[in-house]
Structures are given as C-alpha cells and as structure tokens.
Amino acid sequence: MSASERIETRIHLASRNAKKLAEMERILATHLPGASVVGLDDVPAYDEPVEDEPTFEGNALLKARAGFAATGLPSVADDSGLCVDALNGMPGVLSARWSGPPKSDERNNRLLLDQLADVPDERRTAYFTCAVAFVHAGGELVVHGRMDGTVVREVRGSGGFGYDVLFVADDHPGLTTAELSREDKDAISHRGKALRELAPLLARQLGSAG
C-alpha cells in the first residue's frame, strides 16, 4: 500500500494537549489521510508512567509503550523541551515542570525570564528539541527534530504553547513562534520536523500491517 492510499485507522497520541493533537493530525494528514488521532481523554483511562528518564527519547518511549499496552492502538508519544545555552541546556527534559507542580506555562516562562535577566542578547541562544516515539505491534521507532533560535526578553503572541511566547526561531526571525501562523510554525518547528520524518515511516508500517 502506498503512502498516498487512504488508511482507515486510529492512532493514539499519549497527550491531553489539544494543540499538540491538532498539530499532529495536520502533519500526518498528508501521508495518512484516513487516520484520526485520539488523545488520552479519548481512550479509557490508564496509569500514565512517571516521566523519570534522563533523556527525551527515554520519556517518549515510556509514554508510547504505556499507551500501546493500555489501548492496543498504534501509539505515538513525544517528549520535547527548550535547551538554553546560557543555562547549560536547562530546562531541558524538565521544561514542562521546571517551576514545580502543578504544571504552569506562565510560571515556567516567568522563571526563564528571571534566570536570563542579566544575560546579554547575543548569549540568549537556545533550541527546542523533540523525540517522537512510535510503538505498535510490529515494533517501535524514534525520530528527532530540532529548532534553533533565541530567547527574547518579553512574552509575545497568543498562539502555540509552552515557551513559544519567548522563542524566536532562526528560520523565522522577528516573530516568536507564538506569533507565527500554524502553517509557518509547522514548517519549522522541532515537532513538525520530527512528525514529517515519522509520518511516511508510520504510513509504511501501518500499510504493511494492514
């Protein structure tokens, strides 16, 4: 079955983030036009693993394996974060919970600004990185994506999520990734790059299994 043929299937994304679910469905649609993406709130509840791995890949695999074991659906999970050069790569794998529980984008962004308050503009370089894991009956695989840029000094924009309001990508200077259109962000984002790499592999795996 070619990637362009319609594949009727459901894919589980181990996330409750509505924007992340929509982003994945948009990007996968080119290669899997018949696929629908269902999140954690769309499947029976199961025990979600503690994200205690030291790497993005390890955490992504934990979540994808748990999703597949609980639902029986081909499962995708990602772990991503912002790595700031002046902070020795922090917040890194702790990005979502950097300011402590409960998770709060607003508190995380405020903490980041405080940590970088005295750092000059030329040293505010950073990058978003992402590992996306896919687990299904035929095995598992992981792909990666990266987006380089700079952390600005004030919150800007209402799109995206997480640290998007403070990050200007090198590939789209002048605007934070929270100010970009969905299409522009998808084209350059770390998750967009990873999902575009994953989509044809996923289509091939599901097609050969069908």
State the catalytic residues.
79
The response to whether 105 counts as a known ligand-binding position is: no
Beta strands, E only, the chain: 9-13, 35-38, 75-84, 125-136, 139-151, 167-169
Query: Which value, in Å, is the radius of gyration of the alpha carbons in the chain?
Result: 17
Joined tokens for residue 210:
């069908």
The response to whether 20 counts as a known ligand-binding position is: yes
The response to whether 172 counts as a known ligand-binding position is: no
The response to whether 15 counts as a known ligand-binding position is: yes
User: How far apart, in whole angstroms, are the C-alpha atoms of residue 161 and residue 159?
Assistant: 7
The response to whether 164 counts as a known ligand-binding position is: yes
The response to whether 6 counts as a known ligand-binding position is: no
The response to whether 146 counts as a known ligand-binding position is: no
The response to whether 193 counts as a known ligand-binding position is: no
As to burial, measured by CB atoms within 10 angstroms (0-12 exposed, 13-18 middle, 19+ buried), residue 42 is middle
DSSP output for 6-46: ---EEEEES---HHHHHHHHHHHTTT-TTEEEE-GGGS---
Residues tagged in the binding site annotation for Mg(2+): 79
Residues tagged in the binding site annotation: 15-20, 79-80, 161-164, 185, 190-191
